[in-house]
């Protein structure tokens, strides 16, 4: 999913991040990530996703990079709840404005900021 954590290169600057987690217990090898990736690639404004799997909990989630705060909020408020309903899970979601922490991220060599 073009994750800079795994050498992905972003087409545009990151303006917002979304952290989303589904409260389920599914070992990652059984998670539907292969089915979700093509759907996620059509999501407006999504630049990258890093898949996450909870240690000892097998919760599923991700760290998403978006091209605007608006597209991040749209994803968090529309797509995440619909996905949670489809997988019968309670979602946990947070939206972050990337510009507020850009200087600190550059200083720490974040892969999301050159």
pLDDT digit string, tens, across residues 95-107: 999 999 999 999 9
pTM of this structure: 0.93
Burial class (CB in 10 A: 0-12, 13-18, 19+), 102: middle
Among the four given CATH numbers 2.60.40.1120, 3.30.70.100, 3.10.105.10, 3.10.450.40, the one describing domain 4-107: 3.30.70.100
**What are the pLDDT digits (tens) for 65-96?**
999 999 999 999 999 999 999 989 999 999 99
- Domain positions in the chain are 4-107
Q: Using CA atoms, how far apart are residues 81 and 73, in angstroms rounded to an integer?
A: 12
**pLDDT for 114 beyond 80:** no
């Amino acid at each position: 999913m073009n994750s800079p954590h795994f050498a992905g290169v972003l087409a545009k600057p990151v303006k917002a991040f979304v952290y989303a987690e589904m409260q389920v217990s599914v070992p990652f090898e059984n998670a539907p990530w292969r089915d979700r990736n093509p759907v996620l690639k059509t999501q407006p404004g999504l630049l990258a996703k890093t898949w996450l799997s909870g240690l000892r909990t097998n919760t599923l989630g991700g760290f998403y990079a978006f091209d605007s705060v608006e597209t991040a909020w749209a994803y968090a408020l529309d797509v995440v709840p619909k996905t949670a309903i489809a997988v019968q899970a309670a979602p946990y979601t947070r939206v972050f404005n990337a510009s507020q922490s850009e200087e600190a991220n550059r200083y720490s060599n974040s892969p999301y900021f050159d």
